[in-house]
Amino acid sequence: MQVKSAALGMMLTVGLLVGSLTAPGIAAQENAKETTLPRSFQDARLGMTLSELITIVPEAAKRVSLHRRDQAQRTVVIPSKDRFIQRVEYRFYNDRLRELAIQYNFDKVTGGYQGLRERLKESYGKPFVEDQKEDYERGLDVISVNKTIWKDGATMSSLVDEHNVLEDRRALTLIITDVNLQQAFEQDQEHRRRQRELSIPIPLPDHSVQKRQAAISGSEHARNGHTRG
């Protein structure tokens, strides 16, 4: 009886220890789960058509600003009535909303880029890339860019702080992108670029001359081999 009691006590002790060891692991796994990123803003959602956007934002019908005739690359720019937001860009590919770009009024956002980044981290979790810095020249301007990126299986969110160094102007933009539509868009852009490249006229080799030269070379090689034999 005493042996059974001792064995039972040992089993209970081991069970408690295992429970105490596995519970933190489970919690860590739950914390490590990816947060699903947002795919909509003010009722506009990634993947919707231009006609669907117009039902939500009627003025979009008059503001197709870029590539008006090319449905693959249409962009709609809408000035915002929200005091925190300067404008919203709706970027389409093949009549599907592939990207939403929300440009904020920098001086209205508490803490600027850093403040908004921390707010987004609270909602989106740990970034895929944080504070990626790059500098480049745009015409006579020098642009310094600071970027933080979040990703999940379907969506990418990018917070971009663009600083015009010479004019000391800032642009703070949150870009929400459909990953699959963006990939298709980039492949289409590369195909178009290649087609334009191939359309530039250049002198091309005369393949008939190449074939004759190859035939002559082959005959000479065979003749020389026969002579040596």
| pLDDT, tens digit, 9 for 90 and up, residues 20-76 | 434 444 443 444 456 799 999 999 999 999 999 999 999 888 877 655 556 667 899
What pLDDT score does 219 carry?
A: 66
Region 128-154 average pLDDT: 91
Whether 170 contacts 163, CB under 8 Å: yes
Q: Hey, what are 208's tokens?
A: 């008939």
Q: How confident is the model at residue 4 (pLDDT cuts 50, 70, 90)?
A: very low
Edge-to-edge strands, sheet with 75-79 = 64-66, 75-79, 85-93, 96-104, 169-178, 155-164, 141-151, 129-138
User: Is pLDDT of 119 > 90?
Assistant: yes
CA distance 64 to 75: 6
Tell me the percentage of the chain whose pLDDT exceeds 90: 54
Summarised one tens digit per residue, pLDDT across range 189-205 is 899 899 999 999 989 88
Between 6 and 94, whose confidence is greater? Answer: 94
Name the amino acid, one letter, at 33.
K
Q: Indicate the average pLDDT of the chain.
A: 81
178 exposure class (CB count in 10 Å sphere: 0-12, 13-18, 19+): buried
Whether 87 contacts 80, CB under 8 Å: yes
